[in-house]
Amino acid sequence: MSNVKNPPAWLGVMGGGQLGRMFAHAAQSMGYNVAVLEPAADCPAGQAANRLINAGYSDAPGLDALAAQCVAVTTEFENVPADSLSRLAQSVFVAPNAHGVSVAQDRIAEKSFFVASAAKSGVMPAPHKVIDSDAAIDAIGDELLPGILKTVRMGYDGKGQVRVKSREDVRAAYESMGKVTCLLEKMLPLAYEVSVLTARGADGASVVYPIAENVHRDGILFTTTVPGPNITADCAAKAQRAAQAIVAELGYVGVLCIEFFVLADGSLVVNEMAPRPHNSGHYTIDACVTSQFAQQVRAMAGLPLGDVRQHSPAVMLNILGDIWYEGEGDDVREPAWDKVLALPGANLHLYGKEEPRRARKMGHLTFVAPTLAEAQQHLNAACAILGIAA
């Protein structure tokens, strides 16, 4: 196992957000040092890392400094330039590689990949069409409407997405987005959404976590419940097999999250993927033998992948900056964490962001319990304390 990178080696992270922060915590607990490259001086990952390289994601000296320091580099968000990952890969192991990230950061490439791999994964994406001109709008088939118009790049947490019912709606939305290339996806009869967290090592071995069921509000993940309470055993197994087929077909190394739609008739549709740990996988820190971040460390360090067994039912709640405000005013006060942490099974994770802003992800709460019903009950109690409509 000559490819194993043992502690106290340095592991690098592109990006300074909360995912990088939680990666640093996991890596340091295993004895590694962590270097983060991020243009913002005060960032969540930089607070936890052993070294912060203050540089832009395309800054050549910064990239070279990261590569010189580290034995392996990963990314904590998908919008890191693929060219930067390619540059790093000339001198250091990079997982995921530029190809995997470039597919995930472009909706057209992502949908094309899903279609091409459907023979092995057994699932297809929603019907869709590239919208890159007025002529493309004129040619939209009736079967694609109503739909959702999405920007091809840089969309997350509901940003860059508009629901459309007619060609006129598409035209107006396309113009409002500055006529950047978009993708129109048919709106399907969605019953609920699930995400499948998987990890693959450089040796081709892969593991897959239990199915997580997600609820969104205003395009932002609100809660994740694991195990998913609605999905059937057959559908769950199909989603897990599909995820492992996709990660293998992509030749991916690292942690990958794939979101699926379960439709009203019980069928499965693949939606999108994130080439990194995912918000819906945060429950693994408190409810699984190996967290998604420890798994990321293992994959990039060439270590055996960890046990994905879930030891406790769990419900995760995203904490947004809104709860620091009372009503619609601008007065800020600290939430009642003492009351929340008095609840059984409460695990609080705050991301070190100094300024709470409405709709900004500030942290998350995970409740673990002997039963899913108990975990949900305690989460509802926390929502009441924090003034969140459950």
Rounded (10°) angle between helices 82-89 and 60-69: 40
Same domain, 133 and 248: no
CATH number at 251 reads 3.30.470.20
**Residue 118 placed within a domain:** no
CB atoms within 10 A of CB 371: 10
Q: 130 forms bridges with which residues in the sheet?
A: 183
Task: Please tell me the distance from the alpha carbon of residue 187 to that of residue 195, in angstroms, as a whole number.
Answer: 19
Residue 202's alpha-carbon distances to 129, 247, 344, in angstroms, are 34, 12, 40
**Whether 40 and 155 share a structural domain:** no
DSSP 131-185: E-SHHHHHT--GGG-SEEEEESSS--TTTTEEEESSHHHHHHHHHHTTT--EEEE
Extended beta strands in the chain, E state: 10-14, 33-38, 51-54, 72-75, 93-94, 128-131, 147-151, 161-164, 182-186, 190-200, 206-208, 212-217, 220-226, 254-263, 268-274, 314-320, 346-350, 361-368
Do 201 and 240 fall within a single domain? yes
* Digit-coded pLDDT (tens) for 280-313: 999 999 999 999 999 999 999 999 999 999 999 9
Q: Is residue 120 part of a domain?
A: no
Provide the token pair at 223.
């809660």
Please report, in range form, the residues annotated as the binding site.
107, 150, 155-161, 185-188, 193, 216, 271-272
194 and 182 assigned to the same domain? no
Q: Is the pLDDT of residue 108 over 60?
A: yes
Q: What is the pLDDT of residue 1?
A: 41
Measured CA to CA, the distance from residue 318 to residue 388 in angstroms comes to 11
Shared domain for 178 and 195, answered yes or no, is no
Does any domain span residue 29?
yes
- pLDDT tens column, 27-52: 999 999 999 999 999 999 999 999 99
Q: Give 124's strand partners.
A: 269
Answer yes or no: do 286 and 199 share one domain. yes
**What integer pLDDT is reported at residue 155 of this predicted model?**
63
Same domain, 207 and 334: yes
Three-state secondary-structure class, residue 239:
helix
Are 308 and 296 within 8 A, CB to CB?
no
The residue out of 136, 151, 186 marking a domain boundary is: 186
Closest CA to 12 of 29, 45, 35, 28: 35
For residue 176, the domain's CATH number is 3.30.1490.20
Range of the domain at 41: 10-94
Element (DSSP H or E) covering residue 299: helix 292-301
**Tokens 């601008």 sit on residue:** 330
- State the total domains in the chain: 3
Spatial distance between the Cα atoms of 230 and 214, rounded to a whole number of angstroms? 11
In a domain, 104, yes or no: no
Residues 139 and 164 in one domain: yes
The neighbouring-strand residues paired with 33 are 10
- The SS3 call for residue 375 is helix
Same domain flag for 250 and 141: no
Residue 107 lies in a domain: no
**2 is a domain residue:** no
Q: Which residues are annotated as a binding site for ATP?
A: 107, 150, 155-161, 185-188, 193, 216, 271-272
Please check whether residue 4 lies inside any domain of the structure: no
228 and 246 part of one domain:
yes
Give the pLDDT confidence score for residue 390 in this predicted structure.
Answer: 80
**Cα separation of 390 and 383, whole Å?**
6
Residue 178 has pLDDT above 70, yes or no: yes
Distance CA 40, CA 245 (A): 37
Residue 21 placed within a domain? yes
Task: Label residue 338 exposed, middle or buried (CB < 10 Å: 0-12, 13-18, 19+).
Answer: exposed
Q: Quick one: 382 and 292 in the same domain?
A: yes
**How confident is the model at residue 326, as a pLDDT?**
87
What tens digit of pLDDT does each residue of 199-245 get?
999 999 999 999 999 999 988 999 999 999 999 999 999 999 999 99
Q: What integer is the mean pLDDT of 57-73?
A: 98
- Judgement on whether residues 204 and 180 belong to the same structural domain of the protein: no
CATH number at residue 61: 3.40.50.20
Number of H helices, E strands in the chain: 14, 18
Beta-carbon contacts of residue 170 (< 8 Å; ≥ 6 apart): 131, 137, 140, 145, 147, 149, 164, 184
pLDDT > 70? residue 157: no
Instruction: Provide the angle, in degrees to the nearest 10, between the axes of the packed helices 292-301 and 18-29.
Output: 70
